[in-house]
Amino acid sequence: MLSDLHCHMLPGIDDGSKDMEQSLAMARIAVADGISTTVVTPHHLNGVYSNPARQIRAGIEALNEALERAGIGLNILPGSELHLTPELPAELDQGTALTIANQGKAALVELPVHTVPMGAEHLLEQIIAMGLTPLIAHPERNSELRRSPERLGEWVEMGCLGQVTVQSCTGRFGEAVQRAARTMVQRGCIHVAASDAHRDRRRVPQLTPAREPLAQWAGEEVAQLLIEVYPTDLAAGRRPDPALLREALPPPPAEPWWRRMFGR
């Protein structure tokens, strides 16, 4: 069974599900796709939404009661989509910002859409120094990282992980985002595929649609790691083994002779 580490299923708490009826519809879609565990990740510290740990736990309690009444077998775990701000390390330290599945091992970290904040590397280093692994949410959708994917590679070398959105892989967010997703996957900068679902239509909680493009880009073994193995590890509080990804990735395509000769 599958684990979805990025999903906005809690009702009425951010820009995701609007009410419990929609949350239950999302849960049914997830279960039909083979998802058995969903880490709910409301936005926090992004300047619009503030969702501290206690508020998320209360929302999970209500959602679990509704799931039980509806007979939907989906395991809900706490989490947050945490905007990378100067306040984030302190909130993680105090426990007001939730880690992935509340395991205290990794944190889902969000960037602005178009930029990388000044001091991003310093903040990521602070989080790593706390013994937490930053999981960078949908880097393929960040304009600056699309232009400079090597910067994401540097963060991975620091100790970060990358999370690609399923619908980025399928082309839902356009060709530029899909190309960036492919590049980041092929460079070994992506470790998790997640839904980032917000609704029961269009942006839905499904993981399996990413399997075909991921396998085309990097092989079946890589697709399995990103959809099945690594998300399950993180939900259980285990650090993914990066050696598995390095061994599974095919060698990068050879550079054309004319580019080697002329440098462009």
User: What domains sit in the chain, N to C, each tagged with a CATH number?
Assistant: 2-251 (3.20.20.140)
Amino acid at 163: Q
Q: Quote the pTM value.
A: 0.95
Beta-bridged to residue 107, according to DSSP, are 134
Q: What are phi and psi of 45, to 5 degrees?
A: 70, 20
Residue 153's nearest CA partner among 31, 249, 65, 17 is: 249
With b for 16 or more beta-carbon neighbours within 10 A and e for fewer, the 116-148 pattern comes to beeebeebbbbbeeeebbbbbbbbbbbbbbbee
pLDDT in tens, 31-75: 999 999 999 999 999 889 999 999 999 999 999 999 999 999 999
257 has pLDDT over 70: no
Q: Whole-number mean pLDDT of the chain? A: 95
Per-residue pLDDT band for 255 (boundaries 50, 70, 90) equals: low
Average pLDDT over every residue of 179-201: 98
CB atoms within 10 A of CB 66: 16
pLDDT of residue 262: 59
Two tokens at 161?
């992980």
264 has pLDDT over 50: no
Average pLDDT over every residue of 82-95: 98
Average pLDDT over every residue of 146-165: 98
